[in-house]
Amino acid sequence: MRSLALFALLASSEGYEFKASPNGCTVSSVKCYVDDANRILNEQRTTGPLSQEYCAQFCSNSGYSLAGVENGNECYCGNKLRSDAKAATDSDCSVACSGQGFDGEKCGGYWRIGVFDVQCSGPPVPQPSAPKMLNNPCLNASSPFAKQPWCDATLLVDERVKDMVSRMTLDEKIANLDTGAPAIASLGLNAYNWWSEATHGISHVRNDAVTPYESNFAFPITTGMAFNRSLWKATGNQIGREARAFMNAGNAYSTYWAPVINLAREPRWGRNIETPGEDPTLTGEYAAYFVHGFQDSEDDPTHLQASACCKHYVANSMDHSKVAGEEHDRTDFDATITQQDLVDSYLAPFQACVEKGKVSSLMCSYNAVNGVPSCANDWLLQTVARDAWGFDGYITSDCDADSNVFDPHHYTKTKEEAVAAVLHAGTDVDCGGFVGGNAQSALDQKLISEADMDARLHKLFRVRMRLSHFDPLNPLDEIPPSAVCTAEAKRLAREEWRAA
Catalytic residues: 398
Pairing of β 44-47 and β 74-78:
antiparallel
Question: Which ranges constitute the DSSP H helices of 83-227?
Answer: 157-167, 170-175, 220-224
Element holding 47 (H helix, E strand): strand 44-47
Q: What is the DSSP letter of 385?
A: I
Q: Which amino acid is at 360?
A: S
Q: What distance in Å separates the CA atoms of residue 401 and residue 475, rounded to the nearest whole number? A: 37
Burial 305-341 (b: 16+ CB within 10 A, else e): bbbbbbbbbbbbbbbeeeeeeeebebbbbebebeeee
Cα separation, 212 vs 200, whole angstroms: 17
228 in Cβ contact with 499 (< 8 Å): yes
Burial class (CB in 10 A: 0-12, 13-18, 19+), 162: middle
Residue 58 carries which side chain, given as an amino acid letter? Answer: F
Kindly give, in sequence order, each residue whose CB lies less than 8 Å from that of residue 264, ignoring residues fewer than 6 positions away: 221, 272, 275, 276, 277, 278, 317
Give the helix/strand (H/E) hosting 27: strand 25-27
The CA distance from 68 to 56, in Å, is 8
**Coil, strand, or helix at residue 44?**
strand
Cis, bond preceding 301 (omega within 30 deg of 0): no
Beta bridge partners of 109: 112
Q: How far is CA 205 from CA 302, 382, 416, in A?
A: 25, 31, 33
Angle at 317 between CA 494 and CA 329, to 5 degrees: 130
Q: Collect all residues with Cβ–Cβ distance below 8 Å to 142 and sequence separation of at least 6.
A: none
Burial class (CB in 10 A: 0-12, 13-18, 19+), 119: middle
Q: Is the peptide bond before 314 cis (omega within 30 degrees of 0)?
A: yes
CA gap 312, 263 in Å, rounded? 10
